[in-house]
Amino acid sequence: MLMNKLAALLICLVLIVSCKTNHNIQVSGDHTALSTTLKKENTSQLLSKLKSRKLNFHWLSAHFTMDMQVDSTETSFGGVVRMKKDSIVWMSISKIGIEGVRALLNLDTAMFMDRINDRYFKGNYDYIDSLLETDIDFELIQAVMMGTSIDFYNDTAKLRGFYDGKSQYVLSTIRKRNIKRAVFRNRHIRSKEDAQIIWFDTKDYHINRIRVEDFANHRTFDAYYDDFQAVDSVMFPMHIQYVIAAGKTIKIDLKYKKLNFQLKEETPFAIPAKYARIQY
């Protein structure tokens, strides 16, 4: 399920970079359900508006900082990400200026270098899947880092569209359910499917919030987007806050800076001979 994938990817980051800090992460925004004063809107039109603002790029690079809290364990680090759309994600993750992890991901292969312990991993995504007991793939990683949703547009017949009466449109998926009555009034739903809800601006259609709810397993994922930067008339979120409730409570505060778009970026990944390979 999508809920499992999102939680697992972010937990994976905690496992890779585990350095405690002495601060708390504050997550802003409204964590309650929407008001029940919703006006139905044409779903196809809303979907078209949302898709029209999708960011197109060849290469993207940015510096970032991330504060992460898993229950009482707190982690803070920084780094650089370079991304070729639908092809490559390269990351260098560091603490106080010292690189701890370097990663190179493409559609089929995941590679990591653990600089602290002189070891590396190279293979497909099956090993990561086995550790996390879920499915991780390139599309998921790219979408989480870009602030976009996964599998949201696959079946328009299952979408419902609303206007909140203020400043946001809403698109939601619960298979053949009454979204307004069941979700927005906090009534419990027994469903084998994830509910996905997306809030986006009525003026330039940038995404403000995504919520995924796994009713069967009582798990939720919320992502809040703000501090938008205009990129070719598309608004890119420079600040993303994640809140995951899935057994553990996970809070993540991600801030991008120095966002750049280039025709080509370097993605160096030379594994030293002394490094031991992680077997699986």
Question: Would residue 278 count as lying in a domain?
Answer: no
Residue 209's SS3 state is strand
How many Cα atoms occupy the beta-carbon half-sphere of 261 within 13 Å?
10
User: If we measure between CA atoms, which residue out of 65, 63, 74 comes closest to residue 14?
Assistant: 74
Per DSSP, 264 falls in state -
What phi and psi values does residue 128 have, to the nearest 5 degrees? -65, -40
Closest CA to 237 of 253, 250, 221: 253
Q: Provide the pLDDT for residue 155.
A: 54
In a domain, residue 172? The reply is yes
**Total domain count for the chain?**
1
- Within 13 Å of residue 26, how many CA atoms lie on the same side as its CB? 1
Domain contains 280: no
Residue 277 domain-assigned? no
- State both tokens at 73: 């364990």
pLDDT of 129 reads: 63
Give pLDDT, residue 150. Answer: 58
The CATH number assigned to the domain holding 40 equals 2.50.20.10
- CB 231, CB 218: distance < 8 Å: no
Residue 66, token pair as written in the block: 């991330």
- Please give the average pLDDT of every successive group of 10 residues along the chain, which has 280 residues: 54 49 54 56 83 83 90 86 93 87 91 90 78 64 72 61 86 55 44 73 87 76 89 86 82 89 91 89
User: Is position 279 within any domain?
Assistant: no
With respect to residue 213, please indicate whether it lies within any of the assigned structural domains. yes
Question: What is the predicted pLDDT for the residue at 224?
Answer: 92
How, if at all, do strands 159-163 and 119-123 pair? unpaired
pTM: 0.75
Q: What is the structure's pLDDT at 177? A: 37
Give the phi and the psi of residue 54 in degrees, each rounded to 5: -70, 135
Q: What is the pLDDT of residue 76?
A: 86
Q: For residue 166, what are the contacts with CB-CB under 8 A and spacing of at least 6?
A: none
d(CA 21, CA 177): 44
**Residue 135 placed within a domain:** yes
Looking at residue 207, what is its pLDDT?
Answer: 87
| pLDDT value for 28 | 56
* Inside any domain, residue 152: yes
- Give the range of the structural domain holding residue 101, as residue numbers without chain letter: 2-271
How far is 110 from 129, CA to CA, in rounded Å? Answer: 11
